[in-house]
Amino acid sequence: MTDSSASADVLAAAVEQARAAAVETAGDPSLVGDHLGAAREPVAPATDEVPVEALGDVLTHTFASRLPGYVGWHWAVTVAHAPGDDGVTVDEVVLLPGDSALLAPAWVPWQERLRPGDLSVGDVLPSTEDDPRLAPAYLVDDDSAEDPEGRVVAQELGVGRERVMSADGRGQAVGRWTAGEFGPTSPMARQAPGPCATCGFYLPLAGSLRQMVGACGNAYAPADGRVVTADYGCGAHSQATLVADEATEVVRTARYDTGTYDVLTD
């Protein structure tokens, strides 16, 4: 029998030693299940400094996991045998997922997980330095950007704001508002007598968005105090009128038309 085959036999027979290592890591013998098998691990290639006869064999024994919540996982215990040694050495004990294991979803950065409406009282949602929705309210070089005096000047030039919404940010906002409840495609807008742009209660926003969006100032309108698009509308339009129909007789007593039938008497 060659040294290689003898080493492989020694490693294959080390099931109980591998199980003991898994139990030690798990902390409870009941958490380590049946022996599932063993697989030989690749070893580093031989070099001039480390000849092939000095390389040992490495084998990984696997055991079923009985940890609650780890369905489909298994314990993997890697053992090694060096030429000339009588026993084996435990190299590593890990818990690994199998093909049917339940895995956590891929990690997503917090700023990508948040959705509109997630922010509650006391929460803080800081914006990142590279937020594409924001742009500097002033133009400064990299050196003065970290200068406290430069920041003071920046606040004055930016009317108290170091950053304002970028064109990208404004475009995203208008897109949300247009597709939302107070946009031109909503059921209310389609039945309105006229658009908000012609309503006396319409308060246009300032700046580049003036022609597209504004706020509703009509207490009786469903969008009161909300941002609406210029082509939104509702029944509370300032130019809406009611056309009175011609006065009609109000029937207050029960009347019967006897011209279409004969009245029979006993």
Distance CA 174, CA 205 (A): 12
DSSP for 165-190 reads E-HHHHHHHHHHHHHSTTSTTSHHHH
Distance CA 263, CA 225 (A): 65
* CA 89, chain centre distance (Å): 45
Give 214's DSSP letter.
Answer: E
The beta strand positions in the chain, using DSSP E, are 32-41, 57-65, 73-81, 89-97, 134-136, 163-165, 202-204, 213-216, 227-229
Per-residue pLDDT, 134: 84
Distance CA 76, CA 95 (A): 6
- What's the start-to-end Cα distance of the chain, in Å? 130
Per-residue pLDDT, 245: 54
What strands lie across the sheet with 227-229, from one edge to the other? 202-204, 213-216, 227-229
Question: Which one-letter amino acid corresponds to residue 60?
Answer: T
Residue with tokens 């807008």: 189
Question: Which one-letter amino acid corresponds to residue 61?
Answer: H
Per-residue pLDDT, 162: 75
Q: Considering only CA atoms, which of 135, 142, 144 is closest in space to residue 163?
A: 135
Per-residue pLDDT, 184: 94
56 and 3 Cβ atoms separated by less than 8 Å: no
Per-residue pLDDT, 50: 41
32 and 22 Cβ atoms separated by less than 8 Å: yes
* CA 82, chain centre distance (Å): 50
Distance CA 59, CA 88 (A): 10
pLDDT by residue, tens only, the chain of 266 residues: 455 666 778 888 899 999 999 999 999 999 999 999 998 887 655 445 544 444 468 899 999 999 998 889 999 999 998 777 778 889 999 999 988 888 878 888 777 787 877 878 887 777 778 888 888 776 444 444 455 555 565 555 545 577 888 888 999 999 999 999 999 999 999 999 999 999 999 999 988 889 999 999 999 999 999 999 999 999 999 988 755 555 555 555 555 565 666 666 66
